[in-house]
Amino acid sequence: MRFALLATICSVVLFALIGCAAPAVTPAPTSAAPPTTAPLAATSGALVKVNMAYTAISVAVLPMWVAYDEGFFKQNGIDASMQYIATSPVLTAAMLSGEVQIAHAAEEVVLNSDLSGGDVVILASGANRLIFSLYAKPDISTIADLKGKKIGVTAHGSSTDFAARWFLTKNGLKPDQDVALVSIGGVPSILAALEAGGVDAGVVSPPTSFKAQKAGFKELVNFADMALPYYQSPVIARKSWVAANPDTVRKFMKAYVEAVAFIKKDKAATEQIIGKYTKTTDSAELDGTYNEFNRVLPQAPYPTTDAIQTGLGLVALDNPKAQGADPAQFFDASWVQELDKSGFIAGLYK
């Protein structure tokens, strides 16, 4: 992948779309690592090269990791590469430039891009609820105690930022006024900032949330318990690329739902993959991480209107174009629907 071009691309694309500077791309920690088990036999014929990316070292992107490590991409005729791109603006630039074709990224990437004239679309939901917890210093016992404090999030406009703003507003606190939201970077960095005293609380995902618990911090809320429809890390691609490459999209989607089925059926092997990418070895943390993700991962990962509507409500705080926008324009459920109606998904569980 020619990610050295991103600095130039971002200066042009992001000025038009987002107006923020782009940090460097960080390589995936194990993109060249061998599968955890023997890969399945590849589809006959030449493999199609597809560059993929994800924006968080989080269990939320687990289906892509599993599809790569267990050979599902190769089995379905895809020569996949993966990159970890730490921020949504850089990912957006990479997708719009054609450097990345498919990614796991938060739904606000799609909403912000499309409202600014982009053509990114959600193809599969991934987890259908937020997989975050808000952890705080031990002396913060109630939500009211957060007033005047600082909460660490990955970046403004990210899923962690959305979760914090939604939770504070729901409980009568004004984000950026009553409580400061501090952009930290990656989720592990939020825990580091919490430990160093740079913030008083932080929004983290498994397995980092279990590390925070072990470090003595207090969980104020587990967002998955609140059943708020939202796509923390759906599958996204450009509409123009999807239209030009339907066979490749179909191959990817088959590999993706096969990975979902693998996650559902093989807990032990899945936990090995979680540990590999998140650098987690504690069995209790891996078990808790698996359980948290599995309960919010549907077998047929349809993107739906309600979760997009939730995201539009957040984006509207900064972008008036989101008000009254049609949620249907941001997702395409036909690819999951095709596999579901054909019986392919059900067949994976027999």
Q: Provide DSSP, 240-307.
A: HHHHH-HHHHHHHHHHHHHHHHHHHH-HHHHHHHHHHHHT---HHHHHHHHHHHHTT--SS----HHH
Taking the CA atoms of the chain, what radius of gyration do you get in angstroms? Answer: 19
Tens digits of pLDDT across the chain (350 residues): 443 433 333 333 333 333 333 333 333 333 333 333 333 344 457 899 999 999 888 899 999 999 999 999 999 999 999 999 987 788 888 998 999 999 998 888 899 889 989 899 999 999 999 889 999 999 999 999 999 999 999 888 778 888 999 899 989 999 999 999 999 988 999 999 999 999 999 999 999 999 999 999 999 999 988 878 999 899 999 999 999 999 999 999 999 999 999 999 999 999 999 999 999 999 999 999 999 999 999 999 999 999 999 989 888 877 899 998 999 999 999 999 999 999 999 999 99
* Amino acid in position 305: T
Q: Provide DSSP, 86-122.
A: -SHHHHHHHHHHTS-SEEE--HHHHHHHHHTT--EEE
| Whether residues 27 and 46 fall in one domain | yes
| Whether residues 211 and 77 fall in one domain | no
Q: Which residue has the tokens 């690819």?
A: 335
| Whether residues 215 and 251 fall in one domain | no
279, HSE (Cβ side, Cα atoms, 13 Å): 5
- Strand order across the beta sheet in which 102-104 lies: 78-84, 48-54, 102-104, 235-238, 120-124
pLDDT at 49: 97
Which of 198, 226, 254 terminates a domain? The answer is 226
| Whether residues 242 and 105 fall in one domain | yes
Which of 201, 226, 251 terminates a domain? The answer is 226
pLDDT at 185: 85
pLDDT at 44: 52
pLDDT at 317: 77
| Whether residues 249 and 332 fall in one domain | yes
pLDDT at 269: 98
Q: Check if the beta carbon of residue 201 is closer than 8 Å to that of residue 212.
A: no
| Whether residues 32 and 122 fall in one domain | yes
User: In 10 A of CB 120, how many CB atoms?
Assistant: 24
The pair of structure tokens assigned to 318 is 């900064």
Distance CA 207, CA 115 (A): 33
| Whether residues 27 and 105 fall in one domain | yes
pLDDT at 313: 85
CATH number at residue 170: 3.40.190.10
pLDDT at 314: 80
Phi/psi for 237 (5° steps) reads -160, 170
pLDDT at 228: 86
| Whether residues 199 and 272 fall in one domain | no
Distance CA 175, CA 161 (A): 10
Q: Is the pTM of this model over 0.85?
A: no
Handedness of CA 268, 78, 51, 101 (dihedral sign): negative
| Whether residues 113 and 237 fall in one domain | yes
pLDDT at 55: 87
CA 240 to chain centroid: 22
**Ramachandran assignment for 106, one of left (phi > 0), alpha (psi -120 to 50 degrees), beta (any other):** beta
- Quick one: which H or E segment has residue 53? strand 48-54
Handedness of CA 234, 236, 239, 244 (dihedral sign): negative
Which of 205, 226, 247 terminates a domain? The answer is 226
**Domain range spanning residue 160?**
133-226
The domain total for the chain is 2
| Whether residues 186 and 239 fall in one domain | no
- Quick one: which H or E segment has residue 79? strand 78-84
